[in-house]
Amino acid sequence: MAQFAVIGLGRFGSAASLELMRMGHSVLGIDNDPKIVDKYADHLSRAVIADVTDSAAVQELGLDNYDVVLIAIGDDVQASLVSVVHLKAVGVTKIWVKAISHAQHLILHKLGVNRIIHPEEEMGVRVAQMLSYPMVNDYISLGNGEFVVEITASERLDEISLGEVLHQDNKTVEVLLIKRKTQILVRPTDDFILQAKDILVIFGPLQALRNIAPKLI
Ligand code: ADP
């Protein structure tokens, strides 16, 4: 279990905080709006009212003990940047920041922020990729054009062996596991008999995955 602090409990910060809680982590939520803090007080490990542009307030928060501090202040770029300076001053080393502009990105980069997030752009790219491959439920990009994708097997594949579906001259993709209801079946072999609605988690280069995907739907 890791300890996270999230500054700014707007839509982005609150969604990140609640998901971290669901994943079993400890989350300190911080916002300068008492109504917002009140709203999340019962759902987070701790929620406090503080204005992070105030260096004394930041010092009191003891944020250097946290694994990562996520700054999720939206439109107030100045407040977001000042809070980074205050966090650095109290010794916080892992800082992630939601950014809204190129100028803000440049300054955050100069300040040595570990991770700069552009939610709209990142989500836009993700949605475009999902739209082009509607059969793919979800994916992880591993870099170098290699991906892990999750595809649900269609009714057509019921009672058909994995080898028959994937049979190909060169083995460029690998089925890492199959999810069947609550079961996880690891590294299925070619004689594995599929059932409709099995969820296949497959690794491989993009082009090979593109060729395979239509065979599964
Ligand atoms: P989103 O687009 O994620 O909803 P918002 O800009 O609406 O982003 O939310 C940002 C949150 O950050 C708000 O709840 C706001 O009260 C909080 N916030 C803004 N400035 C500060 C600050 N100086 N200190 C602490 N919290 C702040």
For residue range 135-150, list pLDDT tens digits in order.
Answer: 788 889 898 889 999 9
User: What pLDDT, on a 0 to 100 scale, did the predictor assign at position 141?
Assistant: 87
- The residue behind tokens 């809204």 is 100
Residues in the chain: 217
Which band of pLDDT confidence, cut at 50, 70 and 90, is reported for residue 215? confident
Which of 39-48, 150-159, 196-205 has the largest mean confidence?
Answer: 39-48
d(CA 74, ligand 1 centre) in Å? 5
For helices 102-110 and 77-89, the axis angle rounded to 10 degrees is 10
The tally of CA atoms less than 13 A away on the side-chain side of residue 34 is 0
Residue 55 in contact with residue 49, Cβ under 8 Å?
A: no
Mutate to test the pocket of ligand 1, among 9, 12, 31 (most ligand atoms within 8 A of CB): 31
Buried b / exposed e over 165-198, threshold 16 CB at 10 Å, is bbeeeeeebebebbeeeeeeeeebeeebebeeeb
- Cβ of 80 closer than 6 Å to ligand 1, yes or no, is no
ipTM associated with this complex: 0.96
pLDDT tens figures, 32-60: 999 999 999 999 999 999 999 999 999 99
* Dist CA 189 CA 64 (whole Å): 48
User: What pLDDT, on a 0 to 100 scale, did the predictor assign at position 168?
Assistant: 60
- Cβ of 73 closer than 6 Å to ligand 1, yes or no, is yes
pTM for this structure?
0.77
- Cβ of 119 closer than 6 Å to ligand 1, yes or no, is no
Provide mean pLDDT across the span 71-93. Answer: 96
Name residues whose C-beta falls within 8 Å of residue 79's C-beta, 6 or more positions apart in sequence: 52, 53, 73
